[in-house]
A and B are shown apart, each in its own frame.
Chain A
Amino acid sequence: MKARLFVCLSVALCAACGNEQGVGSRYRAERALWHLNREYRRLSIKPELVESETWRNLAQGYETLAQGTDTSASSAGDPLAQDIHTLVARALVNAAQIHAGIGDSTAMRANYGRVIAEFQDVPLLVGEVKLAQGRMHEYAKLWVEAAKAYETILEHIEPQPGEPGVPGLVIEIPLRVARLHRQASMDAAPGDTSAVRSAPVQAAYEQAEERYRRWITAKPESRLALESRLRLADVAADCGRWQVAMGELRQIEAQIAADRSSTLDPGNVRLSMAMVQSRASAAPGPTRDLLLSVPRDYPKSPAAAQALLTLATLDARQGAVDEALDALDRLRDEYAGATSLNANGMLLRGRLLEREGRWPEALDVFRSLPVRHPLSDPALLAPLEVVAHYKRVEDATETAAALERAEREYRELLTRYPSHQTTLPIRTKLAQVLAMQHRNEEALVELMGIADALPGNPQGASIMLQAAKFAYNDMGDRKRAAEILGNLAQRYPNMEVGRWAAAEAVRLREVSSE
């Protein structure tokens, strides 16, 4: 009797054990992932200060977690198995993202590939991988492949506009896919304007429209429907159906205005209407009216400041200088808080005044821009605008003086704002100024300094490539170019540019020795 009881208990315990081991396995994976994620967040605060070896170790930590977790501890299909698969897939995606960050495309592809091959039951992460793959294809200008990758996401994930991550981005995908097909068609027949209306492109836009209409029908009163309608307007505008696009946007604006709880900005919708109008008709009048209506009807909308800058740009393009300057005055006076737009506004003002032959006023604007909006992109461009003017009027003395002044200003900025993130664009501009002064050696040193400050970062590889081109084209120094390319190949052996640089360095060395 006792023996039977013992056997029964043992069997029950063993039956329970499988599931309990699965719980334990999930817990251990969660713990390891939590600690790795915390380290990832910590390193991501100032990623540029982190050695690529540290990143590699972190990626290895994720891979070890994925390798060491028993994904067969519980029966497939149950929530526990799903949890463990999600954890492992997340670890692989994070590892892939780190590899992508340090330019190791081989390891990145391997990890993404594993997620696609083994974890189709984790749609969110499959979607994340497909999104990353789509972006990579776009970067490589493989438009159709990118479209295919994005389309797969639609099969896995429902759109949830406003949500973080992939579900929040799904709403963009049908339109993005159609636009990628259009781009592919344009690339296939350069110069052929009818390519944008080719059959595959039309089919892609029709599919996008159908999908958006389906989402609207499924949840007519939801944010999904509103956002789908916004994209429908884009689809119509892309296809040249301006009236349809405007009609959709009017409907959306009315809907948002009627719904006080809506988080969408009606000012933005009005701005979109102006953009559609501007594409629809060459006459600037209706577009101007719409742009002016944004700050009038929605003065508190962030789109109001953007509308004034767009209006100024439009007027400047039409040669209506006074109107453009009026719009810029309004932008400066009424939306002083929109610093980035105001910086761009000042740059536009300076260029406009320079074009109109009002150089002293333009110079004043270019000089005050770095003071009012230091570190903004327009502020960094302003000294070079001054140089460009004196070059245009062929005043060698003033050009040299402007270059010296630009160099001094950039160096002062570097002293005043030594933080790593701000120094990189300044140093790039400084290298440009040095090159313009024909101080090639110093320019090259500056470029290499920037590349050294971005270890393991693809941006660093791009700067090194720029330096090699500079050595080759501007300095005529093939040996130096080969040396830089060789260095690039050593630093980025797993990046395509690294492999290309290795081959190119060999070729250049051979050419130089001949």
Chain B
Amino acid sequence: MADTSFDIIVVGGGPGGYVAAIRAAQLGLKTAVVEREHMGGICLNWGCIPTKALLRTSEVFSLIKHADAFGLSVKDVSFDAEKIVERSRKVASQLSNGVKGLMKKNKITVFDGAAKLAGVEGGQRKLAVAMDDKSTVALTAKNVILATGARARQLPGLESDGKLVWTYKEAMVPPEFPKSLLVIGSGAIGIEFASFYRTMGAEVTVAEVLDRILPVEDEEVSAFAKRAFEKQGMKILTGATVANLKKAGNKVTATIAAGGKSQEITVDRVISAVGIVGNVENLGLEGTKVKVEKTHIVIDQWGFTGEPNVYAIGDVAGPPWLAHKAMHEGVLVVEKIAGVKGVHPMNSQNIPGCTYCQPQVASIGLTEAAAKANGLQVKVGKFPFIGNGKAIALGEPEGFIKTVFDAKTGELLGAHMIGAEVTELIQGYSVAKTLETTEAELMATVFPHPTLSEMMHESVLAAYGRTLHI
């Protein structure tokens, strides 16, 4: 039998958990990960990565459909849904194997099973692991990090059934692509699937309960995205409540109340993307000081739960529900446990967010409205893709980059982008925010020509009335 006593045991092998484990191993701690399903977690197996593979397909498909705009003649374009899904699964499994390799390389023991806190003995935390092979293993650790992630939220009346009403999981591996689709919820997950299926030819309706889509984004980004999607033929209903779903045969009829009117639409499939709930069940939290609020574990700035030597990171520990936030938390919690000097709590204002719809959306920090609501005087800069040479050359003239500065201090409060490749651009502003640059350093930075990144420069210049190319 393998070793059962560790310095750190991470419960959950998703992006937060496996990164925490690697960092712990780097610091010389004896480390184990308990994973009940698949290393890499949702992100790698059923989230970020396989959806990016699908969206790449739809992007290429879209380019081919517009081939004549690039002087190319392409005939008889079609696709094979099975092959598209197969590619996505291959990408996921390649990376999942990669994570297993990383565990081995870092001498991290992986237990395939579900772990539960099981009290304290001799100053060590005890964990009972129900292994996949039905055996039970008792582990002890000086510290436990809970990184169990989250799952799709099920609203009463809108529950997924895996057949007609999907969550992200079924939406990722459809046996065939639906001809018509209703997406409930317009956060990142909902919008990415809406965008994917629309590009692949489905009639897509998005129902969002709030007054705008992508509600965490800057209002101007939401408005621009709505127009862009509508131009692509997507139907968008905001302020919309889906009352119930009636299933009949291979169709679903939804009753949607929006703008004081009720309407019925009938679609092949429904994707329910109405948020997530934390995986806090069956962890043995009962009788401990671990507090759960709204399905999430409450932590302090160091990931500490209040129960001695028990920490939590990632989705299970609250928003924003982003893999990179979980990874960063994993590193900082482990470093704090290991007593590394100079560990800093995470600044939520410096966590970028990306949505891989077409056009892409990326942002960091405060929206213009949030900055004003915080009582800050702002300087706002905006630069459109149409003013950028590279964007025109790419045939991507739609979108803009918006920057929000504190008028008093020159602090970059936030940046909001929509358009081609902006998910690859946002890191520039992340670095800027982490280094606490002001507009002066950004203005003094040389951006390469011709690139989309020039718009990041122009947007800063625009905030101070100095834009060059518009």
- Do the two shown chains form a genuine complex with each other? no
